[in-house]
Amino acid sequence: MMEFKAEFIQSSNHPIRFDETKCIGCHRCAEACQVDVMIGFEKGKPPVVMYPGECWYCGACVMECPVEGAIRFRHPLMNQTKFVEVKQ
């Protein structure tokens, strides 16, 4: 049997945050993640975001979550756009 090792990578980027009072720990978000940035270790607890800098910001984790508000998703500041109404 092959054994794999994962190490938590420190990052100033925090794209995914869980509300532990709402998260049911089903890990559907981790299964939906296209780049495997999070790993579900314990059923009933939120997954651990191991590689936050690798997140593609696709939102698949939020869309897959069965509990509204259990996952907060935030794009980095450079990707956030502020629309200003143009006055004529």
Question: The CATH number of the domain where 53 resides is what?
Answer: 3.30.70.20
Q: Is residue 1 part of a domain?
A: no
- pTM, entire model: 0.74
- Residue 11, pLDDT > 70, answer no
- Please tell me the distance from the alpha carbon of residue 36 to that of residue 54, in angstroms, as a whole number: 9
Q: What is the pLDDT of residue 20?
A: 92
Domain-located, residue 28: yes
pLDDT at 34 over 80: yes
Close Cβ partners of 13 (under 8 Å, ≥ 6 residues apart): 52, 53, 55, 76
Domain range for residue 62?
A: 16-78
Give domain status of residue 6, yes or no: no
Q: Is residue 36 part of a domain?
A: yes
Please indicate, yes or no, if residue 7 is contained in any of the structural domains.
no
Half-sphere exposure of 46 (CA within 13 A, CB side): 19
